[in-house]
Every structure is written in C-alpha cells, then in structure tokens.
Structure 1
Amino acid sequence: MSMIHKFSMNGYNIVLDVNGGAVHVLDDVAYDLLDFYKEKSKEEILEILKSKYQEEKINEAYEEILNLEKEGLLYTEDTYQYHPSFVHREPVVKALCLNVAHDCNLKCKYCFAAQGDFGGEKELMSFEVGKAAIDYLIANSGSRKNLEIDFFGGEPLMNFEVVKQLVDYGRSVEKDYNKNIRFTITTNGVLLNDEIIDYINENMHNVVLSLDGRKEVNDNMRPTLNDKGSYDITLPRFKKLVEKRSKDKYYYIRGTFTRDNLDFSKDVMHFADLGFKLTSVEPVVGDESNPYALREEDLPKIFEEYENLL
C-alpha cells in the first residue's frame, strides 16, 4: 500500500513518501493536486483546480507528480510486507516492560497509573515473578539476540533491591542462550542517591528521567505526597546522574505538556539551559473532562510550539 504525508511549515509545502522515505518540497499547485491525484482522472483534476490555477500550471504539476511516481520517489509500495522473510516469520517477543512497583512517591495529576497503583492495591513485584518474566522473554525470543527489559511503575526505585536481583539474573542467563539484554529504567528521581545513581549508570543502557520543565510547570502537575513541589528534589539528582553518566550510554528527560503549559517550547529550552542534551516532551493523554486535557482548539498553538523548536 502506497502512502504519503503532507504538511506545510514555515511557508514550505512538504510531502513525505512514507514507504520510500523521500521528502519533496512542492509548489502550491502540485501540493493541492495531490489531494486528487489517486482518485481522479487528469481531466477531472483540471476541472477541479482551474478556478484556482492556470491550466498550463496544472498540467505541469501533474507531469511532475507522474514523473516522481515513475521514478519511485512518490507513492512507493510497501514491498517489505511481501518479502518471504517477513511473510513467513515466526512471531517473537523482543522486549518486556516490567511494572516492578504498583506504588509511587509522587501523585502526578495526569498519571495514567492512578498515582502508581493502577487502580488496585499498592504492591511490589517479587523476584520470582520478575524471574519468570525474564524466562518467558528468553524462551519466546527465537533467534533474536538483542532483547530489552524496561523497569517501570509506579516508581521502580521503590523496589530497587528486586531490580538489582533481576538484572543479576538476566546477566547470569543471557550468555547461556546467546542473548544480549539491554536494561532501561524510568524514574521520577525522588529516591536517587549516589549508590543508585552509580548502579543505574553502570547497569542501565538507557534511563528515562521524568520532569515536566520549568519549576512552576513541573510542580503544578507533579506534586509530592504532601502536596509540595518535586522540582527542587529531583532536578539536582538528575543533573548529578547525567554528569556522571558515560557518553556511550543513553538517557533522556521525559516531560509531559498539558493545557496548562501550551508554551511548552519554553520547557524544552529550559532543559537545554540546564545542560540536558536529550529531551522528549510529549502531549498529555486524558479525558477532556480534565482541566489539563488538550482540546482540538489547542492544536494551532501546539503546532506553533513545535515549529518554534525547529
């Protein structure tokens, strides 16, 4: 199936050929013509667009699109889905997300996990359950060598001893099965200390550090259990972790923007000013009844903020 994606930015009409990866900058005529190219005949397209553009320009644009398609630069087919290695592949498991803690030491307003317990009882994963999960991953990974395990929650550092035991277990069995397990962890940073920072930097291929941006933005959405701000607690610990982390190991600051900070490009720049090189700020997910939820009328401002980051 062929597919294209169109969008305009900073005065440019941009078209991405999804399957082939080619990117094109088109004039207005060709850009508008694409809306009808696959569904209408050339004569029908001329009739539709002649009130807006000269017939000569429409014909030129049509030939341009036709040539791009013939050259394999536009509307390319997804041939990979028909390749024998894909069609006859055996399904395998390549990654696990282990919720090692159904508990948390923050109470973020937008938390999909209902402040860590996912709407159930607060509890911590046992080593036995985690071990069984690792065994399942290895047993169902087929010939795939590189596997991933992400420690998640809630707040996974509330179950730090089990995290360490599971990393040790994974390391003890990966060579027996010719596997390479890459461990990652997502943390709010409250429990970080020198010991935990050193352990994470030595054993975690990736670490995701949850922080929403400027102090007032973060503290509005990510309060502690006693309704205090968490920014001043977590930021110094995140900075220490990143400063001590070797360059060959990945990390990123992971923030969430809501209706309360539609100017989220300022939060991205705030992270940069603090010295963080890798950031990801993503839209909140939530019911529109929540005051912080994004709404359709917010989209123009959101698009503007993304453009500000280019």
Structure 2
Amino acid sequence: MVHQYKLGGYNIVIDANSGSVHSVDDVAYDIIGMYENADFDEICKEILPKYASENLTEQDIRDVMDDLEELQKEGTLFSEDIFEEAASKIKRKQSVLKAICLHVAHGCNMDCRYCFAGKGDYSGKAGIMPLEVGKQALDYLVEQSGSRKNLEVDFFGGEPLLNWDVCKELVAYGRELEKKYDKKFNFTLTTNGLLIDDEVIDFCNKEMGNVVLSLDGRKEVHDFMRHTQSGEGTYDKIIEKFKRLADARNQQNYYMRGTYTAYNKDFAKDVLHMADMGFKETSIEPVVSAPDVDYALHEEDVPFLCEQYEELAEGMLERKKKGEGFNFYHYTIDLTGGPCIYKRVAGCGVGTEYQAVTPTGDLYPCHQFVGNDEMLMGNVYEGVTHPEIVEMFLKGNNVYTRDKCRDCFAKRYCAGGCSANNYHSNGDIDKVYELGCELHRKRIECAIMLKVAEQELGLEE
C-alpha cells in the first residue's frame, strides 16, 4: 500500500507496509501514482506532454521506473503486508501486565466542562484511594508482570494531588519492591496544577519519570473550559507553577496536555502559545464527546482542523530554522527505529499490558473505561475475575480486526487508534472513531513532512 501527498513543498511517498518514506521530485511522484496500473507506453503518453518544457525524455522515464523496480525488490516501495497472519500471535504477546493507572483520587478541585471522568468523581463514584489499596495494586502489578523488569505507574484522578501523601508513600513502597523483586518502577503524575508547590516539584524531580500538565493553551480558551468548582478561571493560578516545574526538569520528561473543542478549532494558536510561554514539550487532543453538546467537534469541522495541523507543522518548522524549536507530541515520530512491530500491530495493550485501578481496587481495561460496569475486570485482591474482557482485547483490538484499518496508510503509526474512543462512539472496540482517524491521518502526514524537511535542511538533532 502506497500513500502519496504534497505538503510543505515536498512530494512524499509512504510505503505503508514497510514503513519506508520517500521524498521525490515531481516526475517521480507522478510516475509512482501510475506505476501499478499503467505500462511504460501509457506512462510516457501521460508524463511527456506534462513536462514538455523540461525536455523530459523516454529514457528519463525509463530510469525512474528502473529505480522504482529496484525499490520494490528491496521491499521499500509497493511492498507486501507480511504481518497479517501473525497478528493474533503478536497480540497474545501482550498478555503480561506492565503498567497500571492508579486512580488515587476520584474527586477534583476543578470543574472542567468536557471532563470524561464526570467532573472528576466519575459520575458520583467519588473516593480517595487508601494506602493499603495502593500497596495491593503495586503488589498485583509485580505479581502479574512475569519476567518484565520495567514497570509503569501513573498517578491519576480526578486530581491525584488531593491524595499526595499516599502518592509519596506508594513511591516509597515501590522502591522497596524494586529491591525485593529486581524490578524498576517508572512513576508518572498527571495533574491540573492547582496544588503544585515547591515540595511537589522537588519530589517529582527526584521520583517521577514523567509529569503531565493540563493546559488548553491561551488564557481565554483555557479558562472557558477549565475552571474551579466556584467558576473561576484557572490559567493564572497554574501557569507560573507549570513554568517552574518544566524549568526545574530542564524542559524534559514532562509534557503539556491540552484539549481543543468547537470553541478553539484554531488550536494551532494554543500550541504556539504554549511554546511562547517557554514550554518545549506540548500536546493537544481533540475533545471526544457526545455529538449534541455545544463544544463537540463534527465531521464538517475536519477540513479546517486539518488545515490547523498543517499550519502548526509549518510554524514549528519555521521556529526550528530560527533555533526556537519545540516538540509536539503527535509529531514526534521515529522513521529509523520507532515502536517494534508488536506495538505497531497490536496497539497500546489496553486491558492486557495496561490496566486502571479505582480507589476501591477495582480493575478496568484503562482509565477511560473506569466506571463502565460492562468493563469491570476484577480487583487487585482477586485479580481478573472476568477473563472474557481480557480475551476480548486479546482476540480483537488490532489493525486487522478493526473495520477500517486494513486499507489505511497510517495503521502502523496508530495501531488502530484508541479502543475507548471506538467503544464510546460506536459501542465496539473494533469499529473505529472515524473523526479521530481522519485527524490522526493528517497528523501523521504532518509529522513525516517535518522529518523529511529536517533531514533535507540539515536540522536533525
């Protein structure tokens, strides 16, 4: 499967099955588009008049076609998909747990309009995780991790800083388990920032491998959706704290995490605002919501949103040329190594490698399934008591079981997208959330264009 597009002044050709990317001239680009369905004479008839002013010859076309034939033999263009038969076996390799999302607080000191967690308390299922439940969750992770050495734990909510003392004690307990079982915990904190202080910053710098900071961008955008329980805007309450934390981490091992809605479809300005504030690690996601709410995104918004991704990519490239570059999560892509084929085919490991734990110790496939009784898997004391849920994710949930992934050029970059988004929009983990897919395809195009530009302009780090 070959995907061609023009962006940023570059002609880009992606061989989806091999992952190879080619930047070519206009003639080669046009010939590639005809290569599989036309012979030499047909190609000459089409191409020679189009490039008459450039004195193109039949031999020039033959040379291009010879190059394409060689690339095909090498398996980097028009390559075969060799992974479909092995997909189910690949997915089974995700059956060992390696990460948990600890919901240490089902409660929040903010009242964000679009919150998927029902205003932070998961629609009335409020609660604070006791230390004993958290310890049992870490024990459960170790027990289920098999021979895996590196384990991931995300302190999540609601707002986890509402239960900060327990977070710190669980980190200490995790360090004890490391020595006892020869494991290595990587802890992450996801926070809205209201309760950040110097003590939190110092502890995070010592113990947290990553920190996720919630900021939607410009003050007016952020405050419109993210406010306190009493209705006050929160931008001014958090922005300086976020700056201190990011600077204290040398602008590494953190990222800003925003959400854009119908009220800021010009979200490129919000990402650039984050960069203007000095943040080097940025991210912003499209809201996923019921279609009838006022802030929902709809299919008719997609063309403009795609333009925004292009505008952001071009803006990032111009800044990088000036030595003012920054990272955008969805444009961070590795064309030389990147995720292994297991991850590219099987996805994030929801429900298998990764599970979420509620304050009472209940287990769900991931944080976005928490509170959905149909997805309750078990608890940290008894383990998985509903293996059919795990089996659902092992049997499906890959690029060959999803209804529209097979013929999508981006399938190896998203591995079929988010199961929770699929489930909440279509009631089926294998029926894709099409609006999200359209936006992700555009992000991949932009990300690859940036990599091509950086290489050709000598801007690679």
* TM range, smaller chain: 0.7 to 0.9
* Aligned position for 1:15: 13
Q: Is the 8 Å Cα contact of residues 102 and 124 (structure 1) preserved in structure 2? A: yes
Which residue, 182, 199, 204 being the options, matches 1:195? 199
Q: Which residue identity does 1:162 align to in structure 2?
A: V
- TM-superposed deviation, 1:75: 3.8
Which residue of structure 2 aligns with residue 261 of structure 1?
Answer: 264
Distance 1:80 1:140, change over 3 A: farther
1:212 maps to which of 216, 221, 228: 216
Instruction: Tell me if 1:68 matches 2:71.
Output: yes
TM-superposition CA deviations, 1:233-256 (whole Å, max 9, x none): 011111121222256x50111111
- Tell me the matched-pair count: 303
- Structure 1's 86 and 113: CA in aligned 2 closer, same or farther, altered over 3 A? closer
Match of 1:232 in 2: 236
Partner Cα separation in structure 1 for residue 197 and residue 151 of structure 2:
28
SS in 1 for 2:22: strand
Report the Cα offset of residue 104 of structure 1.
0.7
Deviations 1:123-153 (A, max 9, x none): 1111222112211211121222111111111
SS in 2 for 1:260: helix
Residue of structure 2 aligned with 1:136, choices 135, 140, 156: 140
Say which SS state the counterpart of residue 117 (structure 1) adopts: helix
Structure 1 pair 181–4 and aligned structure 2 pair: CA distance change class (3 A): farther
TM-score normalised by the chain length of structure 2: 0.59
Flag the 1:221–1:87 CA change in 2: closer, same or farther, 3 A: closer
5+ unaligned residues in a row in structure 2: which ranges? 51-57, 314-461
* 1:190-222 residue CA offsets vs partner (Å, 9 max, x unmatched): 111121221122110100000100100000010
Distance in 2 between the 1:185 and 1:282 partners? 18
Shift of 1:270: 1.0
Alignment of 1:78-89 (within 5 A): 82=86, 89=93
User: Quick one: percent identity of the two aligned structures?
Assistant: 52
- C-alpha deviation, 1:36, in angstroms: 8.1
**Whole-angstrom distance in 2 between the partners of 1:90 and 1:259:** 37
- Shift of residue 65 of structure 1? 4.6
Q: Is the alpha carbon distance of 1:73 and 1:99 closer, same or farther for their aligned partners in structure 2, counting shifts above 3 Å?
A: same
**Mapped contact 1:92–1:140 kept (Cα < 8 A):** yes
Secondary structure of 1:23's counterpart equals: strand
Q: Which residue of 1 aligns with 2:305?
A: 302
SS at match of 1:174: helix
Determine the structure 2 residue equivalent to 1:116. Answer: 120
Q: Distance in 1 between matches of 2:291 and 2:68?
A: 41
Q: 1:291 aligns with which of 291, 294, 312?
A: 294
Shift of 1:88: 8.2
Cα separation, 1, equivalents of 2:31 and 2:134: 55
Alpha-carbon separation, structure 2, partners of 1:193 and 1:117:
24
Measured at CA, do residues 63 and 292 of structure 1 come closer, stay the same or move farther in structure 2, by a change above 3 Å?
farther
Q: Structure 1 counterpart of 2:76, which letter?
A: L
Q: Distance in 2 between matches of 1:238 and 1:222?
A: 15
CA distance in 2, matches of 1:290, 1:160: 33
User: What is the SS of the residue equivalent to 1:149?
Assistant: strand
Larger RCO (CA within 8 A; separation ≥ 6): 2
Between 268-277 and 226-235, report the one with greater CA deviation.
268-277
Distance change in 2, residues 1:233/1:178 (3 Å): same
Task: Select the residue among 99, 105, 116 that pairs with 2:103.
Answer: 99
Aligned-pair Cα RMSD in Å? 3.2
Q: TM-score, normalised by structure 1?
A: 0.85
Partner of 2:183: 179
Decide which of 247, 258, 277 is 2:280's aligned counterpart.
277
Q: Would you tell me which structure has more helix in proportion to its own residues?
A: 2
Displacement of 1:110 in angstroms is: 0.8
Instruction: Work out whether residues 201 and 246 of structure 1, in 8 Å CA contact, stay in contact via their aligned partners in 2.
Output: no
- Return 5+ residue gaps in structure 1 as ranges: none
- Counterpart residue identity of residue 255, structure 1: G
Shift of the alpha carbon at 1:14?
Answer: 2.0
Query: 1:95: Cα distance to partner?
Result: 1.0
How far does residue 63 in structure 1 lie from its aligned partner after superposition?
6.1
The amino acid of 1:213's aligned partner reads G
Q: What CA deviation, in whole Å up to 9, does each residue of 1:81-106 have, x standing for no partner?
A: 859x9588573111111111111111
**Equivalent position amino acid for 1:260 in 2:** Y
Instruction: Give the partner amino acid of 2:7.
Output: M
CA distance in 2, matches of 1:184, 1:79: 36
Show the counterpart of 2:340: none
Does the C-alpha gap of structure 1 residues 30 and 182 become closer, same or farther in structure 2, counting only changes over 3 Å? same
